[in-house]
Structure 1
């Protein structure tokens, strides 16, 4: 067992980041203030819906799909806000552009890591299909094969995905840059940066939960502190506290898997195993039938939910990618970009799933 790592220290313990963006004496016009308040209130409403109704809902694949849908919605909302601000790309400061391009590449990398893990889990489902196929026969020879497939499932699920290690590194990088650049003489820029801060904080929170769920380890689960001045701060803190507390409780009880559907499948596989181990000549077929049906049901649900989550993550990937492409296009039209923007060279060709 690996040695527990120190949890992330709460972010922003050194003070309010909005001191750099909303200095004393600064003010926003009623129109800009309304745009910002509407955006932040929308974030709060979405976060409130994300809070699980029950502890048992934490880290179900259905909840993860809801979280992915939230990410898609808020990243689309930031695009709408930019349009409403009437802040053309040519007026963006270089720092804002650099941060956007850097963060978007990291989010694409995280999506790729998550998609990779989903594909790995789906490959494990093939072992279960083999198990169920072999159980259709009453011969001891088929039971030996079923047992072998169960062992294959156990080893596959227990293996590690190296892409997730790199994913944690990328999230650490996002964590270290979760702040606001100093904005001078631009009220619209202040609104934009505050809104983008909210989107980044919520995105990092969700990605931290996903990485923890997929890796089966809570050692790097993040606890983010956000300024109380954000209208979405209370909702954010509530859902983060609820989910993170439950995840750590699960791990403190010694459970290896975190994904609820995966845990159900693993339990089903363990119930079948005693019936087929060692190629037993005598098998209590009624008990085996019941165990096999339970395994088939849980495996089917797991596979279906994985497929749906994979589509949702791909949808989020496309939103980030198209937003990045749109900014690149506008910058080139305005003549404010060179051909060597960091991370901008043929990003679609670099993304290999």
Structure 2
């Protein structure tokens, strides 16, 4: 995953989140109204699917994969909407494009931080694989030297899990910057522009929320969590508010209970590591059966963690590419628009 070197300009030209983007009396054609309603209703359906049926699902890697997949779908949907609205490049406001490109860089940075943390968690798997190799029961009951080596590696894993990833430290600042930028975006006074602004607002809200949840989960801190007040005039507002309340409440509850990590699969492995660590301090030969069970349980938890991390890593990469593709499409259209148009009089449309 690599950063683009093109431009320094995000992704989201949104209006003020605390007021209706389309003023009362806005006259939209039936076609534009249908496009907007379809986009908002589909977004509402996606958000409903993300609300966990059981609190234990919150911040499982499977839920996080689903959340990232949903985010990719929303970003692809806004790209489709832009194509359907058929905006000529001349109608795109320069400040809007600067904000879009600037925010996209921030999102790419966040993706890189997430990928870095997933990689760090995967690296810890090597330490535990070494432990399982040392304590392999097929070689008989482990010697004192083997137990000492296993205990040392288990301790290293716990130290690694409790350490902080410096790449995550900037994510909270970036997210707060994205929230502050909501009121900066404006668009030329056109019906199409207003439809896009309203749709883009939904994209931004979902993006900031999910990224804040991921940042809280990976960093082990409640600080990144946000509470957005959303107008009830959006078709997706009720679904979003329900999701935000449900997920944030569960995460805060986990932190208040002193959970080492709010990631379910990591917490399961941590419990198994602690149990095995205590056994390696002093264990008698007659307790070999308990040792085998502890090793087997840890191995199963490790497999679930690795599978979950691999799946989530692919979804984060997919989101990175989705953001990057949207950014590149805009830059490409801008370059084409700057070329002489003597061969055709057609204006370019961002797709």
**TM range, smaller chain:** 0.7 to 0.9
Structure 1 runs (4+) deviating above 6 angstroms are none
CA RMSD of aligned residues (A): 1.7
**In 2: Cα distance, 1:15 partner to 1:257 partner:** 32
**In 1: Cα distance, 2:239 partner to 2:25 partner:** 28
Q: CA deviation at 1:90?
A: 2.8
**In 1: Cα distance, 2:185 partner to 2:175 partner:** 19
Q: CA deviation at 1:61?
A: 0.2
Q: Are residue 17 (structure 1) and residue 44 (structure 2) matched?
A: no
**In 2: Cα distance, 1:185 partner to 1:323 partner:** 23
Q: CA deviation at 1:273?
A: 1.2
Q: Provide, for residues 133-183 of structure 1, a one-character-per-residue CA deviation record: whole Å limited to 9, x for no partner.
A: 111142221111100100010101010001111111111111111236344
Given the two structures, how large is their TM-score scaled by the length of structure 2? 0.88
Paired residues for 1:207-286 under 5 Å = 207-277=211-281, 280=283, 282=285, 284-286=287-289
**In 2: Cα distance, 1:46 partner to 1:188 partner:** 24
When residues 17 and 99 of structure 1 are mapped into structure 2, their CA distance, relative to the original with a 3 A threshold, is farther
- Partner residue, 2:168: 164
- Partner residue, 2:100: 100
SS of 1:229's partner is: coil
**In 2: Cα distance, 1:88 partner to 1:79 partner:** 14
Q: CA deviation at 1:102?
A: 1.2
Unaligned segments of structure 1, at least 5 residues: 1-13, 337-353
Q: Provide, for residues 255-275 of structure 1, a one-character-per-residue CA deviation record: whole Å limited to 9, x for no partner.
A: 121000000000011111122
- Which segment drifts farther, 266-275 or 71-80? 266-275
Q: Provide, for residues 110-135 of structure 1, a one-character-per-residue CA deviation record: whole Å limited to 9, x for no partner.
A: 00000000011111111111111111
When residues 129 and 153 of structure 1 are mapped into structure 2, their CA distance, relative to the original with a 3 A threshold, is same
Contact 2:61 2:309 in 1 (8 A): yes
Q: CA deviation at 1:184?
A: 4.4
SS of 2:122's partner is: helix
Contact 2:62 2:308 in 1 (8 A): yes
Contact 1:178 1:201 in 2 (8 A): no
Given the two structures, how large is their TM-score scaled by the length of structure 1? 0.87
Q: Provide, for residues 164-210 of structure 1, a one-character-per-residue CA deviation record: whole Å limited to 9, x for no partner.
A: 11111111111111236344421100011111111011000000000
Contact 1:75 1:320 in 2 (8 A): yes
Contact 1:67 1:206 in 2 (8 A): yes
Q: Provide, for residues 61-105 of structure 1, a one-character-per-residue CA deviation record: whole Å limited to 9, x for no partner.
A: 000000000011000000100011011233211122112101111
Contact 2:108 2:324 in 1 (8 A): yes
SS of 1:177's partner is: helix
The aligned length equals 321
Contact 1:17 1:179 in 2 (8 A): no
**In 2: Cα distance, 1:241 partner to 1:275 partner:** 41
Unaligned segments of structure 2, at least 5 residues: 1-15, 340-351
Contact 1:134 1:142 in 2 (8 A): yes
